Amino acid sequence: MNNPESLLARISVDPHVQHSRPCVKGTRTPVHIILEAIAMGMGIEEVKAEFPPITDEDIRACLLFAALLAQEEEVLLATSSAP
């Protein structure tokens, strides 16, 4: 089982990617797209097939991120910038 910090490290915010929306790190896939896919009934394997290279850990990171936001806790993410 991953710890919260290692899961949240899989989420990033980059002003040059998806208008600074939180994304799965190393991809252009916004967290909200993964969450919406799951909410609409896609299974984990379907999500991974639809959005490669998303992994199980990335999906868990998205779910944790949403859970923390639902608790109205501040979630600090590292900001990265393109070279």
List, for residues 24-68, the tens digit of each pLDDT value: 999 999 999 999 999 999 999 999 999 999 999 999 999 999 999
Between CA 82 and CA 26 the distance in angstroms is 11
pTM: 0.85
Tell me the pLDDT band of 2, cut-offs 50, 70 and 90.
confident
Q: What domains are there in the chain, each with its CATH number?
A: 4-70 (1.10.10.10)
Q: Helices 56-70 and 31-39: crossing angle, nearest 10°?
A: 90
User: Are 12 and 65 spatial neighbours (Cβ–Cβ below 8 Å)?
Assistant: no
Burial readout 35-55 (b: 16 or more C-beta within 10 A, e: otherwise)? bebbeeebeeeebbeebeebe
